[in-house]
Amino acid sequence: MYRKQSNSGTQSRSNGRFNQRPQARFGKFNNKSRSHNRGPKGENISHSRFINKATVTEEVENFIPEHKFADFIIEDVLKTAIISKGYITPTPIQDRSIPHILKGQDIVGIANTGTGKTAAFLIPLIDKVLKNRKTKVLIVVPTRELAIQIQNELIGFTKGMKIFSVCCVGGAYIGKQLSELRYTNEFIIGTPGRLKDLIERKAIYLNQFSTIVLDEADRMLDMGFVNDMRFLMAGMPKPRHTLFFSATLSTEIEKMIGEFLHEPVRISVKTRDTSKNVEQDIVRVSRGLNKIDVLRELLAKEDFTKVLIFGRTKHGVEKLSRALIEKGFKAESIHGDKNHSQRQRALKGFKENVVQILVATDVAARGLDIPDVSHVINFDIPATYDDYVHRIGRTGRANKKGKALTFVE
């Protein structure tokens, strides 16, 4: 299609124990055991916070949306696209955010992971572009996987609308991105470091963008991107339309909100830290046992059909992945030392059930929508409780039940 040039294991659980070796235990503490672990950032996390039985009964608090997608004042072609995706009733964050975004108001959206935040900002921003083709939107996210996922969702919504986008992330070939940026793109989606690089190369002109989305802002703060975010915001014209999404609030996040947004509408649909759909427990590894042997016995169980395992370091994740492959499991890994194509290939294989196990650092803990993950296993204790919440949010999605296990030594 012509595009206009731009100017710019085999064991069972019984009475809290495995009935075969290795003798790891679920749940309860004994008097000699420690009930806390300190993550690498120094946060002291009680093991009891890793234990929570999922409820099987119906939710007591049933959300009643104020709108249906058909009620929103958006272009008919977009309504048709939404219907074709099977969307009828908005999620809480969508129901409460979309009307304000359509009015052009700045918003701060605080919501649990997996609540439909992407569609909450994509739908009204696509409508904004359809109504004014000069509109250009910048979407900033912490990881390349999340950027690619957002672009794929955008493409799914905009088929046949002649709305174009480019994904600008580190680890991918910059030459291809530079080439795509020579054309008009209504949406640019990227990670802070790569976006800054492209701006400094004069491939992106921030003064052309009147709308910006900062998604998973707390994660970007944790990853040290705050100065890059300030660089992006400082280069944009005022007034601008700013959408800010975060799963957590802190003093630093509040400071960013005050710095970046103008009279924002605050929307919070966060009800609890962890999903009721995720049964959480610990696996206590007794002294003298090998953690990998305990893990192998777990993974051999029939119900461990699609397992996401989190480790603390890039080296540890790669070592664990190779060890599982040597033991006969179909496993892949994702971490910062892998290049873009390797990470995408691993993620694709896991999503499509070509591999049973994905071993990852916290790069895979946020934003990624991977269907039907049966178990999340914290092979290493997370650095903070917020990291734990995001890790286990990869299972128990779309009202399905999931399980999360945390290894404790």
Q: Which residue would you say has higher pLDDT here, 327 or 16?
A: 327
Question: How far is Cα 386 from Cα 390, in angstroms, rounded to an integer?
Answer: 6
Please say whether the beta carbons of 78 and 130 come within 8 A.
yes
Is residue 391 pLDDT above 90, yes or no? no
Please say whether the beta carbons of 256 and 218 come within 8 A.
no
**With a threshold of 0.85, does the pTM exceed it?**
no
Question: Which has the closest alpha carbon to 340: 125, 172, 102?
Answer: 172
| The pLDDT of residue 301 | 93
The highest-confidence range among 61-65, 82-86, 257-261, by mean pLDDT, is: 257-261
Is residue 55 pLDDT above 60, yes or no? no
Q: Where does the pLDDT of residue 362 fall: very low under 50, low under 70, confident under 90, or very high at 90 and above?
A: confident
Please say whether the beta carbons of 317 and 333 come within 8 A.
yes
- Helix or strand run (H / E) with residue 359: strand 357-360
Q: Where does the pLDDT of residue 310 fall: very low under 50, low under 70, confident under 90, or very high at 90 and above?
A: very high
| The pLDDT of residue 222 | 82
| The pLDDT of residue 250 | 82
Q: What is the DSSP letter of 309?
A: E
Q: Where does the pLDDT of residue 63 fall: very low under 50, low under 70, confident under 90, or very high at 90 and above?
A: low
Phi and psi for 43 in degrees, rounded to 5? -75, 130
| The pLDDT of residue 65 | 77
Question: How far is Cα 302 from Cα 11, in angstroms, rounded to an integer?
Answer: 10
| The pLDDT of residue 64 | 75
**Homologous superfamily, domain 69-268:** P-loop containing nucleotide triphosphate hydrolases (3.40.50.300)
| The pLDDT of residue 121 | 97
HSE, CB side, 13 Å, CA atoms: give it for residue 165: 28
Residues of the chain with CATH 3.40.50.300: 13-58+273-408, 69-268
Taking only the tens place, the pLDDT of each residue in 168-224 is 998 889 999 999 999 999 999 999 999 999 999 999 999 999 999 999 998 898 888
> What angle separates helix 117-131 from helix 144-157, to the nearest 10 degrees?
50
Taking only the tens place, the pLDDT of each residue in 215-257 is 999 889 888 899 999 999 999 999 999 999 988 788 889 999 9
Phi and psi for 281 in degrees, rounded to 5? -155, 165
Question: Per the structure block, which two tokens stand in for 141?
Answer: 């996210």
Is residue 258 pLDDT above 90, yes or no? yes
Q: Which residue would you say has higher pLDDT here, 202 or 339?
A: 202
The highest-confidence range among 23-37, 224-238, 338-352, by mean pLDDT, is: 224-238
| The pLDDT of residue 409 | 80
Is residue 20 pLDDT above 50, yes or no? no
| The pLDDT of residue 273 | 54
Please name the fold of domain 13-58+273-408.
Rossmann fold (3.40.50)
Is residue 78 pLDDT above 90, yes or no? yes
